[in-house]
Chains A and B, each alone.
Chain A
Amino acid sequence: MYQFDYHRAQTVAEAAELLAANDENTLLAGGQTLIPTLKQRLAMPAKLIDIGNIADLNFIKAEGDAITIGAATKHADVAASPDVAKHLPALAHLAAHIGDPAVRNRGTIGGSLANNDPAADYPAAALGLDAKIHTNKRLIDADPYFTGMFETALEDDEIITEVTFPHPEKAAYVKFPNPASRYAMVGVFVAKTPIDIRVAVTGAGANGVFRVKEMEDALSSNWSPDAVTGIKVPEDDLLSDLHGAADYRSHLISVMAGRAVAATM
């Protein structure tokens, strides 16, 4: 780890000001990606701005037909929330299966979405549920938010403050973990919301999380596993590595999509 300054921000405004002050400053939320990166000397920030303790970012609110989760809310808190369990059990299940207990008790939803690791779980839920990502500047829809592997629509000095999920009629997330890292090698989130039907895939895309339009259309006319298990995502846009070539990942997307749909029935 290289030397850096540490600043614990009390408010989002304070954090935003510090973030804008120097290109080399970086936000620290749960640190589950950043701290290992620092330990490996792969990053050299001037200042870490810790937003993990800002009260305004730590909450889970069920209001009307939506659940809003503060950006610094830990995975373990989402997993244990009665409101999430009641209205969005698929999200509680997803949060309960991120990483290991240590990760779940430090990692945050905002950190996960801001980092947009191509194998992270939360991006599948955000895209699959058409979540609204609130920042200190604006509101971003999930579709335009995810712009590529480790890339998002966030500007350099923009901070996620909260994420709003609608109550779906049906939703489920099923992942096939990478045997070594246990990150998602393929994770599929399926949801039927009052507005539309969505299938979002994480872990497999060469450009990060993505939707499978063909599966969404098929489910619109027939909400059953059989509707999706025969649909193959083209291998061209999929990741290929030591643990699974693109053809295997394509196959797993169909299988996991079928299992996710089955889990909603």
Chain B
Amino acid sequence: MSTTGIGQAVRRKEDKRFITGAGRYTDDLNRPGQTYAYFLRSPHAHAKINGIDLTEAVAAPGVVSIFTGSDVAADGLGGLICGWTVHSKDGSEMKAGAHPILAEDTVRYVGDHVAMVVAETYAQAKSAAELIVVDYNVLDAAADVGTAQDGSAPQVHAEAPSNTCFDWELGNKPETLAALKNAAHIVKLDLTNNRLIPNAMEPRAAIADYDSGTDEYTLWTTSQNPHVARLVLSAFVGVAPEHKLRVIAPDVGGGFGSKIFIYAEETACTWASAKIKRPIKWTAERSESFLSDAHGRDHVSHAELAVAEDGTFLGLHVQTKANLGAYLSTFASSVPTYLYGTLLSGQYALPAVYVEVDGVFTHTAPVDAYRGAGRPEATYLIERIVETAARELAFDPAELRRKNFIRTFPHQTPVIMNYDIGDYDACLDKALALVDYDGFPARKAEAESRGKKRGIGFSTYIEACGLAPSAAVGSLGAGVGLWESAEVQVAPTGKIEVFTGAHSHGQGHETTFAQLVCERIGVPIDDVEIIHGDTGRVQFGMGTYGSRSGSVGMSALAHALDKIEAKAKKIAAHLMEADAGDIELKDGVFTVAGTDKELAWAELALGAYTAHGFPTSEIEPGLKENAFYDPLNFTFPSGCHICEVEIDPDTGVTQIANFVAVDDFGVIVNPMIVEGQVQGGIAQGIGQALFEAAHYDETGQLITGSFMDYCMPRADDLPDFDLGFTQTDCPSNPMGMKGCGEAGAIASPPAVINAITDALGVRDIKMPATPARVWAALAAPSPSSD
């Protein structure tokens, strides 16, 4: 068995360059004659621009040019787009104003782009920007999602009355309302899903270089999906024709979704590089990342769960206000709708689910997909209300879940999704064993003897990955189906290059994709190179997000390898004078069944290009194949996370005492990388539960605009996680994979908050459960906290 094939904990090939400082990120690159861009941003959440005076600024030292919204408009450039059209209850399309690259007459959030200053140095660009005089008429802002739809709230876009982009619904309404009317018990819960700022380690950056000789543009940028960036910049914004634009995403230091989107900065740099006929470089400062990276989450919800006397779930009704920010980011409309409402059945055989979501504009930064994208919000809601139901109706939280688990597959939920496979009991059983559930009362008592309050919380989650079956999402309003492509190119020496449309920005594709090649062909892993992130080298791609690269990207590669193997066997048959049906490929050697003939992979590869041994009229020379793979269904990773916390009642500090995660990701290619993904995801989920929150004040100023106030989880905040796995192979893709990249961030927040509310004996505590909030909950006489 190959030591570098599927299921092996192969050390990451890419780590050598990353840990020796030899990675090449966008900001590491420089172009001859390069200029630097600085974006003047709005200091106001909402203002009319009466005028912009550039007189002093254009005369400042080093300034090459300054661009404003009127320059963009004069060139007839389109605005930024949202790629998914969501419809309201009355059938009308979502309502949104334009999303200009540079503001025209109005700014709509602090950080909105007012002007781009291009200068010989970055410092000069920044200094010149201070000389720009903007005449603002400052207006009141609608900064809070909970009140932005009120009649008196300031309007973000005239096109969207009451700041409502859409009021969307999904599910079986009559059945749900009937279930709630007739049920023995109704459990109600009001929840806030706190707004998060992505904070990838590498800030966003771009270098755009226009070649006036060929009329070609090259854009190096921090993208999770360079082909999508090229498509949007060419087809929708109109910066350059698609065949004249090359987008390269070199090494990218984390994205978490925030680098899926096509932003104003790289768009403006690309456009302006042709204006000044010089390369333009821009790298975000960390403060700009806080203000202008698309934020995540930000829901306010009310949920009601109908429960029968015996604990059977009968129906779930959810009403959510989802903050979209000031403009629709690239996938903003899909996140709180089709990536959220479709998961609200959880792991439970719920006969009726009805969800209503208002997409709400506010004078805040755009909100879009962030690790988990809609599924964390769904999981938080259902796992919180199920735990609340267990407490209110005096069921054991594990057993109430078990009572309602789906056990027959495929299972059609009332909210679109058709779960293909899973074994929820297996995950729960394994997690209960790992956490030593029976020993919890003793641990609680022991903690109490030390003056600590110990609590336990569950989260049995399901999520949907493998974005996305074209036919399914197309019918739901997606502008494009999310297939993936792969190309395999075998060199005459037998070395293999794989071109994938997936993009690795931390996931380790250079290792895992190579493992699939090793498994299939049997060549050494060092003979395989994975090439990604360059529209000039990779044919097409949809990029990496939604934990799709294994189940979709590697499935495309598997199909391309099928074709390679088929052709190679044909050539081998000719070279060994045998029948193609008798050729076997194992461990890099072709053999002929029933004979001792054999041909090494490298000999075959050379033979494919020195086509003397086979009839080229029947078989083309060369060994290069490609495949597009469009998934049949979403994939459904699931699992059980259990968290135990200890709270210091004197200070309100919560310590994660124990964290168990058991996940079913289907086939696992590299268990070491998967464990890393789970650990990182849980760290982010605990970050949301205990530490992180973006706060805007009532005027729309971002209060948490730096790490001084935006609290990131640190290593010493987190315990060792106790990880386990179960496996039901995904039937809908050739890899049997489900996806693991987001599960930790999806599953863990409700486990943590369920543990804290258990320890405190309260119904709810808002995320993040900071020491101050926990202390207030302890001090408050009422059963709920702020």
Q: Which residues of A contact B (CB under 8 A)?
A: 1-2, 40-41, 176, 179-181, 183, 242-245, 248, 251-252, 255
**Which B residues between 722 and 779 are near A, CB-CB below 8 angstroms?**
770-772, 775-776, 779
Q: Max chain A CB contacts within 10 Å: which of B127, B650, B707, B772?
A: B772
- Find chain A residues with CB under 8 A from B287 CB: 40
Identity of the chain A residue whose Cβ is nearest the Cβ of B691 in the assembled complex = A179
Q: Please determine whether B776 and A180 come into contact, CB atoms closer than 8 angstroms.
A: no
Q: Please determine whether A242 and B709 come into contact, CB atoms closer than 8 angstroms.
A: yes
Q: How far is the CB of B785 from chain A (nearest CB, A)?
A: 13
Identity of the chain A residue whose Cβ is nearest the Cβ of B717 in the assembled complex = A179
Name B776's contact: one of A1, A2, A248, A252 (CB within 8 Å).
A248
Q: Please determine whether A180 and B708 come into contact, CB atoms closer than 8 angstroms.
A: yes
Taken together as a complex, chains A and B put the C-alpha atoms of A248 and B650 apart, in Å, by 10
Q: Which 3 pairs across A and B sit closest by C-beta, in order of nearness? A: A180-B711, A181-B708, A244-B772
A243-B772, A251-B775 known; A180 vs B709 contact (CB < 8 Å): yes
- Find chain A residues with CB under 8 A from B650 CB: 255
A179-B770, A242-B703, A243-B770 known; A248 vs B708 contact (CB < 8 Å): no
Taken together as a complex, chains A and B put the C-alpha atoms of A181 and B704 apart, in Å, by 11
- Find chain A residues with CB under 8 A from B704 CB: 180, 242
Q: How large is the interface on B (under 10, 10 to 19, 20 to 34, 35 or more residues)?
A: 20 to 34
- Find chain B residues with CB under 8 A from A244 CB: 771-772
Kindly supply a per-residue 1/0 record for chain B positions 695-710, scoring 1 wherever the CB is within 8 Å of any chain A CB and 0 otherwise.
1000000011001111
Identity of the chain B residue whose Cβ is nearest the Cβ of A255 in the assembled complex = B650
Does B412 have its Cβ within 8 Å of any Cβ on chain A?
no
- Find chain B residues with CB under 8 A from A251 CB: 775, 779
Taken together as a complex, chains A and B put the C-alpha atoms of A181 and B708 apart, in Å, by 4
A176-B651, A252-B651, A255-B651 known; A181 vs B707 contact (CB < 8 Å): yes
Q: Please determine whether B775 and A242 come into contact, CB atoms closer than 8 angstroms.
A: no
Q: Please determine whether B776 and A181 come into contact, CB atoms closer than 8 angstroms.
A: no
- Find chain B residues with CB under 8 A from A180 CB: 691, 704, 707-712
A242-B695, A242-B703, A242-B704 known; A179 vs B651 contact (CB < 8 Å): no
- Find chain B residues with CB under 8 A from A1 CB: 123
- Find chain A residues with CB under 8 A from B651 CB: 176, 252, 255
Identity of the chain A residue whose Cβ is nearest the Cβ of B776 in the assembled complex = A248
Q: How far is the CB of A145 from chain B (nearest CB, A)?
A: 26
- Find chain A residues with CB under 8 A from B772 CB: 243-245, 248
Q: Please determine whether A179 and B123 come into contact, CB atoms closer than 8 angstroms.
A: no
Q: Other CB < 8 Å A-B pairs besides A176-B651, A180-B691, A180-B709, 6 of them?
A: A179-B691, A180-B710, A181-B707, A242-B695, A245-B772, A255-B651
Identity of the chain A residue whose Cβ is nearest the Cβ of B130 in the assembled complex = A41
- Find chain A residues with CB under 8 A from B711 CB: 179-180
Taken together as a complex, chains A and B put the C-alpha atoms of A78 and B287 apart, in Å, by 33
Q: How far is the CB of A233 from chain B (nearest CB, A)?
A: 16
Identity of the chain A residue whose Cβ is nearest the Cβ of B693 in the assembled complex = A242
Taken together as a complex, chains A and B put the C-alpha atoms of A40 and B288 apart, in Å, by 12
Q: How far is the CB of A210 from chain B (nearest CB, A)?
A: 21
- Find chain A residues with CB under 8 A from B779 CB: 251
Taken together as a complex, chains A and B put the C-alpha atoms of A179 and B691 apart, in Å, by 7
Q: Max chain B CB contacts within 10 Å: which of A181, A243, A248?
A: A248
Q: How far is the CB of B402 from chain A (nearest CB, A)?
A: 36
Kindly supply a per-residue 1/0 record for chain B positions 284-298, scoring 1 wherever the CB is within 8 Å of any chain A CB and 0 otherwise.
000100000000000
Taken together as a complex, chains A and B put the C-alpha atoms of A183 and B707 apart, in Å, by 12
Taken together as a complex, chains A and B put the C-alpha atoms of A1 and B123 apart, in Å, by 8
